[in-house]
Structure 1
Amino acid sequence: MNKFQAWIMAARPRTLPLALASISMGAFLAAAVDLFNWQIFLLSALTTTFLQILSNFANDYGDSIHGADSDLREGPARAVQSGYISPLAMKKAMFIFGFLSFACGVYLLLIALPSNQLLLLIFLLLGLAAIFAAITYTSGSKPYGYAGLGDISVLIFFGLVGVLGSFYLHTQKLQWDYLLPALSCGLFSTAVLNVNNIRDIRTDELAGKKSIPVRIGRRKAITYHWLLLLAGIGCSLVYVIINFESWWQFLFLLSLPLLIKNGRAVQQKTSSSELDPYLKQMALTTLLYVLTFGIGHLFV
């Protein structure tokens, strides 16, 4: 493997659909009320993509330093642990992508909120919090991912902040029922993390990483996974029922067979190598859910 391939591996392209899912959901909701802005969408997508890569780099670095990525790990090879990228080079890359995330986010806010200094400050603080969360998930002296708090962080940033924040930048307005599709995005994104954590349950336990599956055991983690999937679909169903205008709004149910396939795989696949492809499958299913939900609402 050459250096370029190692950096691509460390960036984990299969997780990038999640960076686009919540931003796209907010954009679709804005388009449904005729307030979509292409410039805001593209800048939002670029900012969150930088954030996702930053998070992946920090995770590669942090897990190698703290021991979750070891020779016992059964998932895909990690760049730092495998020696393809040095810890120092990875730390420099984290700084670069942290700066890119911040710079792109500031430009986005200046475009979307040019005359509201208070809101600009609030969104700036949210952006800094997102950067901090991306870095400290598995890096630093007390990474919160090792305390089992990753699921809450994903629900907040890939769901509530991502969807509602994106929608607000387009429209400068919010309404309470948008919490439901935002929660759906967050719950499905949390399910992606749960697949990852069930896959790594043995090595995480040995490294002292108290993920949800490590804390509650594999059997209960499978039940938890089904609850994430069902709650995600349930939130969207409630939203459509409350705002029903056309049967097109149920188009997102096309993603249901893929969600069921993912849940059954998590339940039946016992080896890490068998389960690993379903991390990518769940990420792509989340993006498909957003696309079908959004397209369905554009036909209303």
Structure 2
Amino acid sequence: MSASKTKAWIQAFRLRTLPLAFSSILLGAFLASASDYFNGVILGLSLLTTLFLQVLSNLANDYGDARSGVDGDEREGPSRTVQTGLISQAEMKSALFICAGLALISGVALIIYSLPDQWGYTLTFLVMGFGAIAAAIKYTVGKNPYGYAGFGDLFVLIFFGYVGVLGTYFLYAQSISMDLLLPATTCGLFSVAVLNVNNIRDIESDRKTGKYSIPVRLGRSKAVVYHWFLLLSGLLTSVVYGVLHEFQWSGWLFLLVTPLVFINARAVYTKKTSQELDPFLKQMALTTLLYVVLFGWALL
């Protein structure tokens, strides 16, 4: 493989999305470890499975947007590899099958190791795993991709919040408590905020190509209000968790991300061009990861 082709594949993998993808897995592991359920093998397999799923989602997004015409000349975000011809549609389709297969193998190994001889739970997690693979692909691929209909936010909340955090915790503990919904909601809402920055950045090009994301449906002004709602609600749910668990001063370390959250919120309000907004995708993803690390450190 030539150096230019290798570079194109690395670009298609969009590795800058991995910190956000890993955040929910790490939060679930921190919560489990705080309850004395940690297992390094489960963590490793969880991260590996998430890596394959996130890369699968990124490749499917590249492939689907090129086929649908969303990645046209007027698109304002970073260029994609299929749309620019760096990778052919046939090559990308083959990569989707390979990545889906790797995610399935890793996921099955994770489930079998975590839930030995518990066939009810095993089948449940297998269904969830197939759902995660289908969700990664159907975001932009197929006749009716849900990402184009404005349902991307809901699926991100479900998979980056509840499935990612609570599902990971369950693999360690084989039980769950309702209060864990609160930090899981924070992780999910912060992840939706990353998607919202992306969709506000691309609002004009998406509108012209028929991609009806939440910002396209709401308009830019209301999408900014929606962004503030996501960020403030995300902070609030973790504050409620801290109050319920009577955190000592060290337990509130996660609030150190508050200035970064407000920097992101202000940027979405004041920055108007794609070039100005693009860095705040990475900034919000890293803020989410920092929240998870600080929250987990405080728990331990």
TM-score range, shorter chain: over 0.9
| Alpha-carbon distance between aligned partners in 1 of 2:13 and 2:67, rounded to the nearest angstrom | 18
- Please state how far the C-alpha of 1:228 moved relative to its aligned partner: 0.3
Moved more, 52-61 or 10-19: 10-19
- Please state how far the C-alpha of 1:74 moved relative to its aligned partner: 1.6
| Alignment deviations for residues 154-197 of structure 1 (CA, whole Å, 9 cap, x no partner) | 00000000000000001111000000000000000000000000
The correspondence of residues 62-77 of structure 1 with structure 2, limited to 5 A, is 62-77=64-79
| Alpha-carbon distance between aligned partners in 2 of 1:18 and 1:194, rounded to the nearest angstrom | 14
- Please state how far the C-alpha of 1:225 moved relative to its aligned partner: 0.3
| Alpha-carbon distance between aligned partners in 2 of 1:252 and 1:162, rounded to the nearest angstrom | 19
Pair 1:45-2:16 in alignment: no
| Alpha-carbon distance between aligned partners in 2 of 1:91 and 1:268, rounded to the nearest angstrom | 39
Q: Which runs of 5+ in 1 are unaligned?
A: none
Which residue is equivalent to 2:185? 183
Which residue is equivalent to 1:134? 136
| Alpha-carbon distance between aligned partners in 1 of 2:246 and 2:8, rounded to the nearest angstrom | 48
The DSSP-based 3-state class of the residue aligned with 1:139 is coil
- Please state how far the C-alpha of 1:289 moved relative to its aligned partner: 0.5
- Runs (4+) of structure 1 exceeding 3 A deviation are none
**Which residue of the other structure, out of 31, 54, 59, is the alignment partner of 2:56?**
54
| Alpha-carbon distance between aligned partners in 2 of 1:55 and 1:66, rounded to the nearest angstrom | 16
CA pair 87-239 structure 1, distance change in 2 beyond 3 A: same
| Alignment deviations for residues 93-117 of structure 1 (CA, whole Å, 9 cap, x no partner) | 1111100111000000110001100
Q: Which runs of 5+ in 2 are unaligned?
A: none
| Alpha-carbon distance between aligned partners in 2 of 1:261 and 1:22, rounded to the nearest angstrom | 22
| Alpha-carbon distance between aligned partners in 2 of 1:203 and 1:4, rounded to the nearest angstrom | 29
**Which residue of the other structure, out of 33, 36, 44, is the alignment partner of 2:35?**
33
| Alpha-carbon distance between aligned partners in 2 of 1:245 and 1:235, rounded to the nearest angstrom | 14
Which residue is equivalent to 1:149? 151
| Alignment deviations for residues 104-162 of structure 1 (CA, whole Å, 9 cap, x no partner) | 00000110001100100000000000000000000011100010000000000000000
Give the letter aligned to residue 282 of structure 1: M
**Which residue of the other structure, out of 200, 218, 221, is the alignment partner of 1:219?**
221
RMSD: 0.8
| Alignment deviations for residues 46-89 of structure 1 (CA, whole Å, 9 cap, x no partner) | 10111000000000010111111111112111000011000111
Give the letter aligned to residue 155 of structure 2: S
Which residue is equivalent to 2:122? 120
Which residue is equivalent to 1:210? 212
The DSSP-based 3-state class of the residue aligned with 2:82 is helix
Name the count of aligned residue pairs: 298
Give the letter aligned to residue 228 of structure 1: L
| Alpha-carbon distance between aligned partners in 1 of 2:199 and 2:14, rounded to the nearest angstrom | 16
Which residue is equivalent to 1:19? 21
| Alpha-carbon distance between aligned partners in 1 of 2:112 and 2:123, rounded to the nearest angstrom | 11
| Alpha-carbon distance between aligned partners in 2 of 1:115 and 1:246, rounded to the nearest angstrom | 40
The DSSP-based 3-state class of the residue aligned with 2:83 is helix
Q: TM-score, normalised by structure 1?
A: 0.98
| Alpha-carbon distance between aligned partners in 1 of 2:212 and 2:119, rounded to the nearest angstrom | 40
**Which residue of the other structure, out of 286, 289, 299, is the alignment partner of 2:288?**
286
Give the letter aligned to residue 157 of structure 1: F
Pair 1:161-2:151 in alignment: no
| Alpha-carbon distance between aligned partners in 2 of 1:67 and 1:255, rounded to the nearest angstrom | 38
| Alignment deviations for residues 210-237 of structure 1 (CA, whole Å, 9 cap, x no partner) | 0000000000000000000000000000
The DSSP-based 3-state class of the residue aligned with 1:82 is coil
Which residue is equivalent to 2:255? 253
| Alpha-carbon distance between aligned partners in 1 of 2:154 and 2:260, rounded to the nearest angstrom | 24
Give the letter aligned to residue 37 of structure 1: N
| Alpha-carbon distance between aligned partners in 1 of 2:137 and 2:63, rounded to the nearest angstrom | 10
Give the letter aligned to residue 265 of structure 1: A
- Please state how far the C-alpha of 1:248 moved relative to its aligned partner: 1.2
Which residue is equivalent to 2:279? 277
The DSSP-based 3-state class of the residue aligned with 1:81 is coil
- Please state how far the C-alpha of 1:245 moved relative to its aligned partner: 3.9
| Alpha-carbon distance between aligned partners in 2 of 1:247 and 1:38, rounded to the nearest angstrom | 29
